Structure 1
Amino acid sequence: MSSTVGELLDSLPAAADQEQRRGWVVACAQALGLGGIAVALGQELVWFSDETSARLEDLQFVLGQGPGKFVHDEAEVRALPDLGRSLAQQWPQFAAEAEELGIAALFVWPVRIGAVQVGTMTGYRRTVGPLTGQQLAQGQLVADALAQYVLSHWPAGTDVGNGPGHVGAVDLHRAEVHHATGVLSERLGVSLAEALDRLRARAYASGLSLSDTAHTVIRQELP
């Protein structure tokens, strides 16, 4: 029997490793009736259930398009139960890429600490249709719990060097992106903002994830 959201909120251990954290967020997605979820704080992807949810976050970051980029304009969750109708005109590039991934519906919850929004939690479905009112409300509980966990385990100082999977830590999945941005900035003699734009453009043109593109830049496989 699958766990309820309430049971899951009480079951995440403080010292969870990467595999345990991934399993927990997969169970949360299933309990909410979603195919997967991902959490981003600012420009950092900090938690995701599967490669599809990570890719969706990546696309929003690379393209500067998508519902998660504008959820701060909304008081509550942004529900897009029929993605084709909702995004085709507003964000055509993102809509096309999401369709290629087989995404039919998206739901974006604000991640808040107190009254301050610090990020988003994005969930997807492969079938068109709304979530129930209970699922939407429980999704916010999951987003709030993740925010508290992430901030309690945010790496500081040398902790960043522990790498993905370190027990009790939060993995910063875009650490290589920031590193590669600095590399490109110095190599090309451009600002960090322009270097990040160029990195995004390379990722989109190549079809690689942003992290994979950053990795090749760091290894100097790209000029």
Structure 2
Amino acid sequence: MQIIDNIHAFFWQSTTANNCNTYLLSGPTPILIDPGHLRLFDYVRQGLDELGLALTDIGLVLCTHAHPDHIEAVQLFKQSGVPVAVHETEWEMIEGMKNQISAMGIDLEAMAPDFFLREGELTVEGVELAVFHTPGHSPGSTCLYLPEEKALFTGDLVFKDGLGRTDLPGGSGEQLKKSILRMASLDTDWLLPGHGNHLEGKNDIQRNFAALEQFYFAYV
């Protein structure tokens, strides 16, 4: 689905298997955000095929965090020589869980990032992204923001009518709330979450943030 001229979304619709939404930023160096589970990647591959893109055409893969439903399929891109990035704090957490990850049948080394995301600006051949460290769902979760398009990729920080869980390793309700309030202050026309439907328009997005604070924060 084309969101705007340079953003395509591959929304995960299945109700029988957990996976994330994947986003493509088109340009001289196409950027893929959160490729999802390895075994469920075919729906993204099909979408890329329809756009005339092979895996080797992708210039960079960015992961909002390192839970398997967001990051596992990066190994396909690494095999194709495409660089992958995630926040350093996130990768440190995952490395500390190496035994648990291996027990799930996931090859941690095959997903190792080529560089780490850090708070600040990231420019890739004319595409300007702001990287925000937004812990809470996980220690190294990040949100990615396109200032020109006013598009915010929230990973599992916040969704339409919901927020990220904090009961997984490294989760923190207090950090999650601080991160949500921080992202609510941005000038956002497009809220593009890691799961579920997206939100369009400043008013609807601000209403969503306000409702989360009003109805959910007391229980986090």
TM-score by length of 1: 0.29
Tell me which protein shows more strand as a share of its residues: 2
- Which one has the largest radius of gyration? 1
TM-score (norm: length of structure 2)? 0.29
Relative to total residues, which structure has the larger helix share, 1 or 2?
1
